[in-house]
Amino acid sequence: MLAEFRDYLTASLADLGDVVRFLMRLLVNTPRALLRGDLIIAQIYNAGTLSLVIIMLSGLFVGMVLGLQGFQLLQRFGSEEALGTAATIGLVKELGPVVTALLFAGRAGTALASELGLMRATDQLSAMEMMAVDPIQRVVVPRFLGGVIAMPLLAAIFSMIGIYGAQLIGVQFMGVDSGSFWSQMQASVDLEDVTEGIVKSAVFGVACSLIAVYEGYHAMPTAEGVGQATTRTVVTSAVVTLFLDYLITAMFL
């Protein structure tokens, strides 16, 4: 039992080391990949623009739920005016970055992993190597950077839409005063709260994109292998996101 746990631990550590080495490889290749703006734009499109609808819809509903729940709770204390503060803090610091990262893993991460896995399975990556084109630089790094750039923007859009969703419920339906909704929010939300959210989404962007391209690039070249890679992408991204969320929250305290 103890030995099993120790083996598991060493295996996980080795995996982590492998991922970090992969990240280094990506970073080394980043300067040259940056010269190919067209490739990165295409990947921002894939990771960002194509995720926009799901992010905006989810943001709206999460915001509306916050508006409803927050109102019910705050009403008991007679301070419905704090709804703007509560919803904004919740969205900007936690729900925005975390839910965006989870949705990103499900929408863009799986797409990345399966795309790379299929390219591996159909020899497209080897073919590039044989054409003296480094697939890391040509294929993997642009996808990684696209995700890294898209994530903070997606999280910000999520939070913004969410705040308007909370405002819609709180102000339009529940009758919270619009002026105090906004002025209380502005008085009690610090720039540091927003910074924390941005830092989180940036870190999640690196983590989720890295996991997706790592799993895809190292997928076993079979249909089953590609399936496993996409599954692992979602599961690992979710766990890592929540773990990092705790870590960053603790750091900002």
Partner 1 sequence: MGKSRALNLGTGSFVLLGFAALFFLTTQTTSRGLSFASQPHYDVTAKFDNIGDLKVGAPVSIAGVEVGRVAKISFDSREFKAVVVMSLNSRYNQIPADSDASIYTQGLLGGKYVGLAPGGADTYLKDKDHIDVTFSAFVLENLIGQLAANFIKGKSDAPTPAAPEKTK
Partner 2 sequence: MNQSAAIVEIRNLKYGVGGRPVFDGLAMEIPRGRVTAVMGPSGTGKTTLLRLITGQVAADGGSIRVADQELTGLSHAELYLLRRRMGMLFQNGALLTDLSVFENVAFPLREHTDLPERLIRQLVLTKLQAVGLRGAAEFMPAELSGGMSRRVALARAIVMDPEILIYDEPFVGLDPISLGVILRLIRRLNDALGLTSIVVSHDVQEISSVADVVFLLSGGKVVAQGAPQELRTYPSEIVVQFMGGLADGPVPFHFPATDYFGELLARDGDP
Q: In the structure, how many helices (H) and strands (E) does the chain have?
A: 12, 0
| Chain center to CA of 84 | 24
Query: Considering the rule CB under 8 A, would residue 193 count as an interface residue with partner 1?
Result: yes
State the Cα–Cα distance between residues 206 and 18, nearest whole angstrom.
Answer: 16
Query: Considering the rule CB under 8 A, would residue 35 count as an interface residue with partner 2?
Result: no
Query: Considering the rule CB under 8 A, would residue 52 count as an interface residue with partner 1?
Result: yes
We find the least distance from the C-beta atom of residue 124 to partner 2, in angstroms, to be: 5
Binding region for partner 1 (CB under 8 A) out of 98-106, 144-152, 223-231, 235-243: 144-152
Dihedral pair phi/psi, residue 115, rounded to 5°: -65, -50
We find the least distance from the C-beta atom of residue 1 to partner 1, in angstroms, to be: 46
**And the tokens for 106?**
């499900």
Length of the chain: 253
We find the least distance from the C-beta atom of residue 42 to partner 2, in angstroms, to be: 9
CB 89 within 8 A of CB 172: no
State the Cα–Cα distance between residues 156 and 138, nearest whole angstrom.
Answer: 29
Query: Considering the rule CB under 8 A, would residue 41 count as an interface residue with partner 2?
Result: no
Query: Considering the rule CB under 8 A, would residue 150 count as an interface residue with partner 1?
Result: yes
CB 111 within 8 A of CB 46: yes
Pick from partner 1, partner 2, none: which does 132 bind, CB < 5 to 8 A by kind? partner 2
CB 180 within 8 A of CB 74: no
We find the least distance from the C-beta atom of residue 123 to partner 1, in angstroms, to be: 26
In order of 23, 74, 194, the CA distances from 165 in angstroms are 37, 17, 18
Three-state DSSP state, 33: helix
**And the tokens for 174?**
């529940």
User: 25-44: which residues touch partner 1 (CB under 8 A)?
Assistant: 38, 41-42, 44
Binding region for partner 2 (CB under 8 A) out of 54-62, 128-136, 194-202, 225-233: 128-136
Pick from partner 2, partner 1, none: which does 184 bind, CB < 5 to 8 A by kind? partner 1
Query: Considering the rule CB under 8 A, would residue 30 count as an interface residue with partner 2?
Result: no
Query: Considering the rule CB under 8 A, would residue 2 count as an interface residue with partner 1?
Result: no
Round the CA-based radius of gyration of the chain to a whole number and report it: 21
State the Cα–Cα distance between residues 19 and 117, nearest whole angstrom.
Answer: 16
Of 60, 160, 202, 220, the one binding partner 1 (CB under 8 A) is: 160
Query: Considering the rule CB under 8 A, would residue 132 count as an interface residue with partner 2?
Result: yes
Query: Considering the rule CB under 8 A, would residue 245 count as an interface residue with partner 1?
Result: no
Dihedral pair phi/psi, residue 143, rounded to 5°: -70, -40
Residue ranges binding partner 1 (CB under 8 A): 38, 41-42, 44-45, 48-49, 52, 74, 77-82, 85, 88, 92, 149-150, 152-154, 156-157, 159-160, 163, 180, 182-191, 193-194, 197-198
Binding site for partner 2 (CB under 8 A): 118-119, 122-124, 126-134, 138
